[in-house]
Amino acid sequence: MTKTLHLGQTLTFTGDPFTQGPAAATHSSRGAVLVEAGRVVAAGEADALRAQHGEAEVIDHGAGLILPGFVDAHMHYPQTAMIASWGKRLIDWLNSYTFPEEGKFADRAYADEIAKRTLDLAISNGTTTLTSFCTIHPGSVDAFFEAAEARGMAAFAGKTCMDRNAPDYLSDTAQSAHDDSKALIERWHGKGRATYVITPRFSPTSTPEQLEALGALWAANPSCLMQTHLSEQVDEIEWVSGLYPEARDYLDTYEQHGLLGARGLYGHAIHLEPRETDRLREVGAGLVHCPTSNTFIGSGLFDMAARMAEGQRIGLASDTGGGSSFSMLRVMGAAYEIGQLKRNPIHPAQLLWLATEGSAKVLHAEGEIGRLAPGSMADMIVLDLASTPGIAQRSALASDIWEALFPTIMMGDDRAIAKTYVAGRQVKG
């Protein structure tokens, strides 16, 4: 089997930068990553790895920074075509723009087209793993997993379930949501790089009976993940308390129906009560921060510092098309800006960690993705730290790797992604 030795700058995490600071990462200005059969065999200093593996084919990326591909822990591939739709807040935005677009996915050919388009946009932006809501149509899930499989990408996705407060053309039932999701689990979960994610959209669009049926399905398939939305906008929370008068709070609408667990992914999770943060931490649930979406739809400011201090498990996500960018660089930049508004600037080491290992951890896929360490998949990117004149003139003055990287986090886009590799195979550049 051929070995390939990638030379360039490398940044690897040996710990968590939220507890250890930037010292949790090791930077090598002449580093190397050795890849064989789609996996990382070793990462370290170029000279040492060259001496040990003289037989390996060498690819020299020069000053390019070799990183794990970005891991997007929450997005909606069916919303790709309606990204950047103007002027609405969450509920009106769903009704005006989102539901009509999602209705088009009854057509399998349209689902295929948008799935391919979304994954190609992801690759171009250096995102090698997407976690996606699909639509209520099982074919939309097949389209997404098939397109990911064709590209060799890890994919996390599930059929979005809705049996109330949605148009008829986008409504299933408690029973059909359960049965369709079960059939999709049998078809896709654990096949190649696919992981099935049980997907009730959010409490307002499910009856208690549907949440109960999906909770039972999760209990029967505990290796699946579960994804939903939690406490994104204040109006939404009021709506939930009217729909579920018995519930103690929004999280309780999930908890009462078997939909709270360590393998649960709770998108947004902005406006939380103390009981909710306590329960999320106790069970080790995944909170997914969607900063570009939270500003675009006007949802609110996620308190990263408070949630990290509590010991929550947190990932980062684009939430397209509520999020206004396909670039996880832009998502990191927005996370930084929200941190500033909360008077807690997030260090570039922490931003990078959230977009790679942090997201991999909420997906329970650390070790496999989100890190360039022996044994992990060789899903990687080469970042150009001088991709535009404005970025180049700032990074030229940098005195360390963080100062060199930060202008790309704040100002970079797909032009900064010089190359993308999926399972060791070059797919961009």
Q: In this chain, which of 101, 142, 172, 319 binds Zn ion, going by CB under 5 A? A: 319
Instruction: Show Cβ contacts of residue 393 under 8 Å, excluding neighbours closer than 6 positions.
Output: none
Is residue 293 a contact residue for ligand GUN (CB under 6 A)? yes
Out of Zn ion, ligand GUN, none, which partner does residue 289 contact, by CB within 5 to 8 A per kind?
none
| Long-range contact set of residues 304-311: C-beta below 8 Å, sequence gap at least 24 | 304/335, 304/338, 304/339, 304/342, 304/344, 304/346, 305/339, 305/342, 305/344, 307/269, 307/277, 308/18, 310/277, 310/281, 311/281
Name the one range near ligand GUN by CB under 6 A: 35-43, 90-98, 191-199, 395-403.
Answer: 90-98
State the minimum distance, in angstroms, from the CB of residue 407 to ligand GUN: 29
List the Cα angle 170/171/175 in 5-degree steps.
145
Measured from the CB atom, the residue of 232 and 414 that comes closer to ligand GUN is 232
How far apart, in whole angstroms, are the C-alpha atoms of residue 246 and residue 249?
A: 9
Out of ligand GUN, Zn ion, none, which partner does residue 142 contact, by CB within 5 to 8 A per kind?
none
Report whether 324 contacts 292 (CB < 8 A): yes
State the minimum distance, in angstroms, from the CB of residue 69 to Zn ion: 21
CA dihedral 364, 369, 373, 374 (to 10 degrees): 90
Out of Zn ion, ligand GUN, none, which partner does residue 151 contact, by CB within 5 to 8 A per kind?
none
Measured from the CB atom, the residue of 69 and 267 that comes closer to Zn ion is 267
Is residue 72 a contact residue for Zn ion (CB under 5 A)? no
How far apart, in whole angstroms, are the C-alpha atoms of residue 31 and residue 25?
A: 13
**Closest residue to bound ligand GUN by CB:** 322
State the minimum distance, in angstroms, from the CB of residue 76 to ligand GUN: 5
**What H or E segment, with its residue span, contains residue 237?**
helix 234-243
List C-alpha distances in Å: 401 to 64, 274, 407. 12, 38, 11
Residues 109-138 that bind ligand GUN (CB under 6 A): none
Burial of residue 335, with CB atoms counted within 10 A of its CB: 0-12 exposed, 13-18 middle, 19 or more buried = buried
Is residue 101 a contact residue for Zn ion (CB under 5 A)? no
Measured from the CB atom, the residue of 66 and 90 that comes closer to ligand GUN is 90
Q: In this chain, which of 163, 255, 319, 384 binds ligand GUN, going by CB under 6 A? A: 319
Task: Report which DSSP code applies to 84.
Answer: S
> Residue holding tokens 């037989």?
55
Best CA proximity match to 130, nearest among 65, 67, 80, 205: 80
Site string for ligand GUN, 295-314 (x = CB under 6 A): --x-----------------
Q: In this chain, which of 98, 199, 277, 408 binds ligand GUN, going by CB under 6 A? A: 98
Report whether 128 contacts 369 (CB < 8 A): yes
Measured from the CB atom, the residue of 90 and 119 that comes closer to ligand GUN is 90
How far apart, in whole angstroms, are the C-alpha atoms of residue 153 and residue 335?
A: 26
Q: In this chain, which of 61, 151, 178, 229 binds ligand GUN, going by CB under 6 A? A: 229
Measured from the CB atom, the residue of 6 and 76 that comes closer to ligand GUN is 76
State the minimum distance, in angstroms, from the CB of residue 277 to ligand GUN: 20
Is residue 201 a contact residue for ligand GUN (CB under 6 A)? yes
Is residue 236 a contact residue for Zn ion (CB under 5 A)? no
How far apart, in whole angstroms, are the C-alpha atoms of residue 155 and residue 118?
A: 12
Site size toward Zn ion, by CB under 5 A:
2
* Residues near ligand GUN (CB under 6 A): 76, 90, 94, 98, 201-202, 229, 232, 293, 297, 319, 322
